[in-house]
Amino acid sequence: MKKFNSLIKIFIVILILVWTLFPFYWMLITSVKPKADIYDQKLNPLLLYGFTNEHYRYLFEETNFLIWYKNSLIVATSSTIITLIVSYFAGYSLSRLKFRGSSLLGLLIFIAYLIPPTLLFIPLAKVVSILNLGNNIAALILTYPTFLVPFCTWMLMSYFSTIPYELEECAFIDGASRLRVLFNIVFPVCKPAIITVTLFSFTLSWGEMIYALVMVPSTMNKTLPVGIRSELIRGDVFFHGPLMAAALLSVIPVILIFSFFTDLYISGLTKGAVKY
């Protein structure tokens, strides 16, 4: 009976994994399928009848894929760092410090999170041009925190509240300054939340499309999502092979980072929620 149970369990797990991973498999297989095979309706599309690197070659040699990759890396890393610093300090002070206006500020930051990007679009573009950053990825580095900071602050706030205050109390009694406490005591303990916030910001910046689409149109400055969609689709001709290859290569860094920090990420994400 027990064996049957575990067989069923394994079967269900396999089903779940197929559902979860199939799109990735499909990306992979399309990216190495010869072009004729991709569009040949008589062949079994799940199998490979030939292998080609023509799509990857096209991607690297005839598009600016690597440049877009570099741009996305710069934008995502910078936005993440800025967001991390800003939210860490903000989250800590909102959660730990007592001061006038703290509830109001907390509320405002949360409301800021609710404001949809389409609403901020044009005014932000105006701000960007006043700062003379039109068509420059710095524009994105400045505007991405607008949707990253509110959420990350809020998440860190929740996580801080699950850390017992005694830790800091002890340190204060021992004469540590607040800053020292922030870095040496609190930081190590909230590593999971830091990881979560970092990964979250990185992923969101990496995949952001709308601001990048309009604020950075030059092919040399484009980020990945924009470049992939705009230059692998020319008018009414689609390059599905390179499209899938590009999509696959673009998700790999995120997957890699995530797989190193899975446990911490998960606990950072859920600890705040579970405590309620």
Partner 1 sequence: MKLFRNEEERTAYFYLLPAIIVVFGFIGYPFVYSIYLSFTNAGIGKSGSFIGILNYLNLLKSSTFRQVLFNSLVFTIIAISIKMFFGMIFALIMQHLRRAGKLVKTLIMLPWVVPTSLSAIAWWWMYNPNYSIFNWIINKLGTDYRVHWLSLPKTAMLSVIIVNSWIGIPFFAISILSGLISIDIELYEAADSEGAKGYQKFIYITLPLIKPVLAVVLLFSTLMTISEFNIIYIITNGGPLFGTTLLSLYAYQQGISNGVISRGAAISIFIFPLLFIVSYFQLRMVRKGISKR
Partner 2 sequence: MFKNNKLYLKILVVNIVCCLILTLCLTVTTAAEDTEVSLLLFIHYSQAAQDTIQKQAEKWAANKGVRVKIDFVEDTSLASMITSESQIGKGHDIIPLRESDAYLFEKILTDVSSVVEEIQKTNGQAYDIAKIGDNVNGIWRGIPWYHDTAPMLYRKDYIEEVGYTVEDMNNMTIDEFLVLAKKLKESGHPVGMQCAQIPDGNATLGSLMYSFGSYLFGPDNTIIIDSKETRQALEYFKNLYQYMPEDLLGWDNSGNNQFMLSKEGGVTGNTPSIYATAQDDNIAFKDQLYHAPNPFGPKGSWDAVTVWSFGIPVYAKNKDLAADLIKYLLTWDNFYEHAKSARGFDMPVYNGLDDLSIWTDNPNLSGIVTGKDNFMSVGAPGINALPSAASQRANISYTVPIMFGKYLTGTSIDEAIKWTVNELKRFVEEENQ
Residues 20-79 that bind partner 2 (CB under 8 A): 35, 39, 41, 62, 74, 78
Structure tokens at 84: 């991390």
Half-sphere exposure of 221 (CA within 13 A, CB side): 17
Q: Which does 136 bind (CB under 5 to 8 A by kind): partner 1, partner 2, none?
A: partner 2
Amino acid (one-letter) located at 20: T
Contact 79, 201 (CB under 8 A): yes
Residues 78 and 131: their CA atoms lie apart, in Å, by 18
Return the residue of 1, 47, 97, 104 that touches partner 1, per CB under 8 A.
97
Does 94 help bind partner 1 (rule: CB under 8 A)? yes
Amino acid (one-letter) located at 166: E
Residues 87 and 141: their CA atoms lie apart, in Å, by 15
Binders of partner 2 in range 142-171 (CB under 8 A): 142
E-only strand ranges, the chain? 233-234, 237-238
Return the residue of 34, 161, 167, 176 that touches partner 1, per CB under 8 A.
161
Q: What is the 3-state secondary structure (H, E, C) of 97-134?
A: CCCCCHHHHHHHHHHHHHCCHHHHHHHHHHHHHHCCCC
The residues that bridge with 233 in the sheet, in sequence order, are 238
Does 41 help bind partner 1 (rule: CB under 8 A)? yes
Binders of partner 1 in range 101-120 (CB under 8 A): 102, 105, 107-112, 114-120
Residues 5 and 14: their CA atoms lie apart, in Å, by 14
Kindly tell me which of 9 and 57 has the beta carbon lying closer to partner 1.
9
Return the residue of 224, 239, 242, 245 that touches partner 1, per CB under 8 A.
224
Q: Which does 190 bind (CB under 5 to 8 A by kind): partner 2, partner 1, none?
A: none
Residues 70 and 76: their CA atoms lie apart, in Å, by 10
Decide: helix, strand or coil at residue 157.
helix
- The binding track of 213-242 with respect to partner 2, each residue x by CB under 8 A or -, is xxx-xxx---------xxx-xxxxxx----
Return the residue of 85, 107, 108, 115 that touches partner 2, per CB under 8 A.
85
Q: Which does 11 bind (CB under 5 to 8 A by kind): partner 1, partner 2, none?
A: none
Does 97 help bind partner 2 (rule: CB under 8 A)? no
Q: Which does 177 bind (CB under 5 to 8 A by kind): partner 2, partner 1, none?
A: partner 2
Q: Which does 264 bind (CB under 5 to 8 A by kind): partner 2, partner 1, none?
A: none
Look at the chain and count its residues.
276
Does 79 help bind partner 1 (rule: CB under 8 A)? no
| Other C-beta atoms lying within 10 Å of the C-beta of residue 67 | 14
Return the residue of 56, 206, 211, 239 that touches partner 1, per CB under 8 A.
206
